[in-house]
């Protein structure tokens, strides 16, 4: 799974001290897009929310289609939209 590959790559980047070069919003947006379980979607939403980066909003909006994370997505979008 691509999620697992990205997590391993991120762990290697952290070990090599180059993780600051990774666009976390882009990475976690991909995690959210490729997630197949509610648990993985919730984890990606939480990660995107903690970035406090409004670039995450489009990925979050696309995730509204999944009922199991609808509330999490709404809360994350509300928080990020407040960051003007």
Kindly report, residue by residue over 22-71, the tens digit of the pLDDT.
899 999 999 999 999 999 999 999 999 999 999 999 999 999 999 999 99
CA distance 31 to 12: 17
CA distance 56 to 58: 6
What contacts 44, CB < 8 A, 6 or more positions away?
A: 28, 29, 31, 32, 35
Q: In which region does residue 53 sit, left (phi positive, over 0), alpha (psi from -120 to 50) or beta (all else)?
A: beta
Q: Is the pLDDT of residue 81 over 90?
A: yes
Quote the DSSP letter at residue 25.
Answer: H
pLDDT band at 78 (very low <50, low <70, confident <90, very high): very high
């Amino acid at each position: 799974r691509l999620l697992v590959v990205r997590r391993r790559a991120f762990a290697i980047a952290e070990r090599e001290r180059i993780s600051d070069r990774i666009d976390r919003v882009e990475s976690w947006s991909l995690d959210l897009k490729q997630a197949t379980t509610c648990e993985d979607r919730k984890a990606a939403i939480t990660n995107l929310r903690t970035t406090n980066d409004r670039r995450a909003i489009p990925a979050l909006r696309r995730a509204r289609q999944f009922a199991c994370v609808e509330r999490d997505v709404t809360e994350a979008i509300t928080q990020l939209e407040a960051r003007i």
